[in-house]
Amino acid sequence: MFLINFPSNSLTLSVILLWFLLDSKCDGDRVRVINLNRNWTLSNENGTITKSGVTIPSGVYSQLYGEKVLDSYNDVDLRWISYDNWTYTYSFSVKTEDFKSICFVNLTLHGIDTVAEVRLNGDWLGRPDNMFVRYSYDITKILKDDNILEIEIKSPVYEALSRARELQRQGIEIPPNCPPSQYHGECHMNMLRKMQASFGWDWGLAAPSMGIWKSVTLEYYDVAIIRDVDVTLKKNSTHWTMQSRVFIDCNDQKDFYAELTFYAVELLKNPVIISKHVETPVSYKAPIITFFIHVPIGAVTLWWPNGYGDQKLYPLHYSLKAWSNPKGPTLRDNVISEKSIRIGFRTIELIEDPVKEGTGNTFFFKINGKEIFMKGSNYIPNHILPEYSRDSNRLKHLLQSAKDTHQNMIRVWGGGIYESDEFYDIADQNGLLIWHDMMFACAMYPVQEQFLASVRLEISQNIKRIAHHPSIAILATNNENEVALVQSWYGTSFEDERFRKEYRKLYLATVMHELKIVEHSSRPIALVSSPSNGKASANDNYISDNPQDPDYGDVHFYEVFKDAWDPSVYPRPRFSSEYGFQGLPQMASWLKTAAPHDKLISLIEHRQHHPVGIPVMTNLIRRHLPLPLPEDPPYLEALVYFSQIAQAMATKVETELYRSLRDTEHRTMGALYWQLNDVWIAPSWSSIDFYGNYKLLHYWSQDFLAPISIIALYDRNSKAINVSLVCDEFKVDTNDLKVTLNIYKWTQLLPTNSTTWPVTLKPNGVHYDKIIPISEIITGEFTPKNCVVEFVLRRGTAFLSHTFYFPGPIKESLAVKNPEITLEISHRYCSSSVYVKTNSYSLTVSTKYPALFVYIELLRSDISKYKLSCNGFMQVTPVQAIHLEFEANNCINLTRHDIKLTTVNQYLKRRKI
């Protein structure tokens, strides 16, 4: 009988009782997996700090201080944690005579962050050194009645330094050695296979995490256990061919016998039994069982990306019976192992064909035979401490927020982590395709055999775990390392030939080789880097002179010194997989993260990791908006507010440009802005701050990513407005469509001049409607300083989309009046669920004159996250209805004093024309 010493409480008793009900003896027929996740002890190396009752997943930072590392200057003040060594200790008891002669016992560590020594009863088991790898140890012969498991976590900072120095003693430098000083980071991140961002990034703090960030389990089985299942789907004219590959871990270097039962309750009437290995054993060298099932096309509902159809998922269940005796298993053998997944039926192609006009190749995705423009964002880890990265509420909020703004693709960036199973499940459910980097970013890396062996295991384990998800669209081996090498970002030109050789050894010979495990004709071939020239990179042996050639593959684009509101500054690429501009989180978020004695402007400057500093934002703001001087009292609040406007407008312009280029010779077919989320409150490119609140960028993206959008962009060369109508829908009603051009003077509501004309929409494409010279719009009584232009798309009287064009810098506008804006709470409603209460409010915003970028803030400190139906809007009508919603532990009675309204008007001097 197996016993574990748990704390004495009702939950523990329930777990123990359940264990007995499931039959705790080792002579059952099922593989047993026991979580060892409760009642650990954590202590530092010299024993001055000890904490008991620790629950796994755990990290040292979070165990000692929770999330306080995110507050004030704790990114520096708590750094001492990462300079120490820490040991997790776990005591448990078993009755060895009940299983020792017949049962294999495996200790599996699903995630250790990062370098550790593992000991059981004083015996050394191993040295994990890759946080992305699952480590398993046979403990059958060293297990005792009473056991002590120790996992000693080494300081990641000193381990990285030690490895760098060892290579330096051999005359080998692996740059970059250290991040820019503005990061307040740690050095040699590239020496360790851990989340690269944990040593500091331009958007995030350095919190060199350490701990047990995934479960620790005991596994009892005689021969084998299912680890992962990969399913590929190929379609012909009548059937889908579903190939399943069941990946198995076995406990010995001996072939074994197996029988697999496959259940697909929504696809097949009866289970399918794969019995070929009952007589022909499975090879322990490649323990995989492969089989095919054919499903009639008419029997399935297709899975579609968000906005194009349903996300139907089909449950599949695999039950493996494995044994070693040719005569078959006995009733006492632990032989049955099980795995359940869900799949979606869809085809996906990455089309890279020579373009008909000009030079280069296309670069776009076809889903279920349809060309689809990929629109979305880049996803970074949702927490700097990986043990928190599996938080269901945060995952659901972020991915639902992406779905709600019409995104159909997110990019999992290569400086983070391979996400949890739940992350990919939620992406599947929400129709969010995933461009997935492997976890290498912005650095050169070692290529010594020990490092490469760890990488092979990392890629193999993770890709087998995630490949079956319908959301997985394309893989890339790294983020920006090809372009970094070619452009010598880290001074590699002094040994260029060496670094090119090492680059190919790591990504081509190692990572790409392991990715072949899930390679299939139904899946796009992995990209060697992002950005890259796609398949054309092969002509250059995957290191191109210009990996950002706009005529091939994907590009990343950042230009901080030009006017980001001007479409002419942007490239015309096939696919833009990274671009963006910085903005500040709302003031309430800053107040929540700051200590009472902190000066906010100093904290903002401390957390601004961009080498250019705060001017990276203020330079653009001052081009267009009336930002006060730093010594003026309203400067800080204005900086926060204007930074969000500047960020939203820059990203809107760039995204709209890419969408409008779809059916031109540029054939742009993807726009993924940087970035969706954040790891703390700081100046960053995110559209959602760490607490889950939307910046103006995210509110605006509901419109500029909408399936039907009107785009009006200024062309500097022709001095004209290009009006385009984008339609992502496969079928669209083109009757009674019209565009109205409204010109509003700052001195009055409702348009001073309007012009309407009939238009059409091109299904799943762009209709290029008009090129209107500015001289035909801004004429007569209108000047660039006294008006704003609106373009509205309607079907009959129904509003479909609108956009604004500012003919001159907003800061130079004349005759802008005090809008005399007011807000009333017109309706409130509170609904209850099991855990929270949803508070809903209807707000009515009224104004007497045009109000520029109306910004609504909730001032209640007890409400950390809320959502508005729109924000940062231009109000050129007397009344605007807004919906406000938030969750709380109780029903909250908001008053008008709890809500703040801000407009650009209040910062403009009242100047006459």
Contacts of 206 (CB under 8 A, 6+ apart): 75, 79, 179, 183, 184, 185, 186, 198, 199, 200
Q: For 154-168, how does the pLDDT look when each residue is reduced to its tens digit (9 = 90+)? A: 999 999 999 999 999
Quick one: pLDDT at residue 547?
98
Question: Region 498-521: what's the mean pLDDT?
Answer: 98
Contacts of 559 (CB under 8 A, 6+ apart): 569, 570
Structure tokens given for 240: 């889908």
Q: For Cα atoms 700, 704, 708, give the angle at the middle one, nearest 5 degrees.
A: 135
Helix (H) or strand (E) holding 593: helix 587-593
Quick one: pLDDT at residue 834?
76
Query: In Å, how far are 15, 332, 509, 850, 882 from 879, measured between CA atoms?
Result: 58, 75, 63, 11, 10
Query: In Å, how far are 5, 321, 329, 697 from 279, measured between CA atoms?
Result: 42, 13, 13, 61
Residue found under tokens 């958007």: 203
CA distance 585 to 564: 20
Residue found under tokens 């906010």: 600
Structure tokens given for 275: 């019995």
pLDDT band at 223 (very low <50, low <70, confident <90, very high): very high
pLDDT band at 827 (very low <50, low <70, confident <90, very high): very high
Quick one: pLDDT at residue 886?
96
CA distance 156 to 41: 20
Question: Region 347-364: what's the mean pLDDT?
Answer: 95
Residue 28: pLDDT above 80? Answer: no
Burial 291-327 (b: 16+ CB within 10 A, else e): eebebeeeebebbbbbbbbebbbbebebbbbbbbeee
Query: In Å, how far are 445, 725, 826, 835 from 829, measured between CA atoms?
Result: 55, 38, 11, 17
Q: For 529-573, how does the pLDDT look when each residue is reduced to its tens digit (9 = 90+)? A: 999 999 999 999 999 999 999 999 999 999 989 999 999 999 999
Peptide bond into 675 cis (omega under 30): yes
Residue 54: beta bridge partners?
A: 40
Quick one: pLDDT at residue 100?
62
Q: What domains can be seen in the chain, in order of their start residue?
A: 32-218 (2.60.120.260), 223-333+335-344 (2.60.40.10), 710-812 (2.60.40.10), 822-906 (2.60.40)
pLDDT band at 20 (very low <50, low <70, confident <90, very high): very low
CA distance 557 to 565: 14
DSSP 806: -
Quick one: pLDDT at residue 98?
64
pLDDT band at 328 (very low <50, low <70, confident <90, very high): confident
Quick one: pLDDT at residue 911?
58
Has 480 been annotated as catalytic? Answer: yes
Which of the following is catalytic: 150, 578, 654, 790? 578
Residue 15: pLDDT above 90? Answer: no
pLDDT band at 99 (very low <50, low <70, confident <90, very high): low
CA distance 830 to 838: 6
CA distance 488 to 288: 43
Helix (H) or strand (E) holding 379: strand 374-379
Residue 560: beta bridge partners?
A: none
Question: Region 475-498: what's the mean pLDDT?
Answer: 98
Quick one: pLDDT at residue 19?
35
Quick one: pLDDT at residue 10?
36
Residue 887: pLDDT above 50? Answer: yes
Quick one: pLDDT at residue 97?
74
Residue 21: pLDDT above 60? Answer: no
Quick one: pLDDT at residue 62?
98
**How confident is the prediction for the chain on average, in pLDDT?**
94
pLDDT above 90 as % of the chain: 92
Quick one: pLDDT at residue 94?
87
DSSP per residue, 393-444: HHHHHHHHHHHHTT--EEEE-TTS-PPPHHHHHHHHHHT-EEEEE-S-BSS-
Residue found under tokens 């020594």: 117
Query: In Å, how far are 378, 610, 725, 864, 912 from 707, measured between CA atoms?
Result: 20, 34, 10, 31, 41
Question: Region 359-379: what's the mean pLDDT?
Answer: 98
Q: For 702-737, how does the pLDDT look when each residue is reduced to its tens digit (9 = 90+)? A: 999 999 999 999 999 999 999 999 999 999 999 999
Quick one: pLDDT at residue 11?
36
Do 634 and 682 contact (CB within 8 A), yes or no?
A: no
Contacts of 539 (CB under 8 A, 6+ apart): none
Do 710 and 803 contact (CB within 8 A), yes or no?
A: yes
CA distance 657 to 635: 32
Quick one: pLDDT at residue 307?
98
Q: For 288-320, how does the pLDDT look when each residue is reduced to its tens digit (9 = 90+)? A: 999 999 999 999 999 999 999 999 999 999 999
Quick one: pLDDT at residue 890?
92
- Taking residue 455's Cβ as centre, other Cβ atoms within 10 Å add up to 25
Helix (H) or strand (E) holding 505: helix 496-506
Give the SS3 label for residue 818: coil
Q: Of 612, 678, 617, which is closest to residue 203 (Cα–Cα)? A: 678
Quick one: pLDDT at residue 25?
42
Do 194 and 167 contact (CB within 8 A), yes or no?
A: no
CA distance 116 to 60: 13
Quick one: pLDDT at residue 724?
98
Q: What are phi and psi of 745, to 5 degrees?
A: -85, 150
Structure tokens given for 906: 């209040």
CA distance 560 to 737: 39
Q: Of 215, 183, 176, which is closest to residue 199 (Cα–Cα)? A: 183
Task: Give the length of the chain.
Answer: 913
Q: For Cα atoms 228, 410, 417, give the angle at the middle one, nearest 5 degrees.
A: 50
pLDDT above 70 as % of the chain: 96
pLDDT band at 334 (very low <50, low <70, confident <90, very high): confident
Which of the following is catalytic: 186, 219, 480, 482? 480
CA distance 910 to 905: 9
Structure tokens given for 228: 């992962």
Has 186 been annotated as catalytic? Answer: no
**Beta sheet of 708-715, edge-to-edge order:** 708-715, 720-727, 765-773
Q: For 188-197, how does the pLDDT look when each residue is reduced to its tens digit (9 = 90+)? A: 999 999 999 9
Position with higher pLDDT, 827 vs 333: 827
Quick one: pLDDT at residue 114?
98
Q: Longest C-alpha distance within the chain, in Å?
A: 98
Residue 14: pLDDT above 60? Answer: no
Q: For 417-458, how does the pLDDT look when each residue is reduced to its tens digit (9 = 90+)? A: 999 999 999 999 999 999 999 999 999 999 999 999 999 999
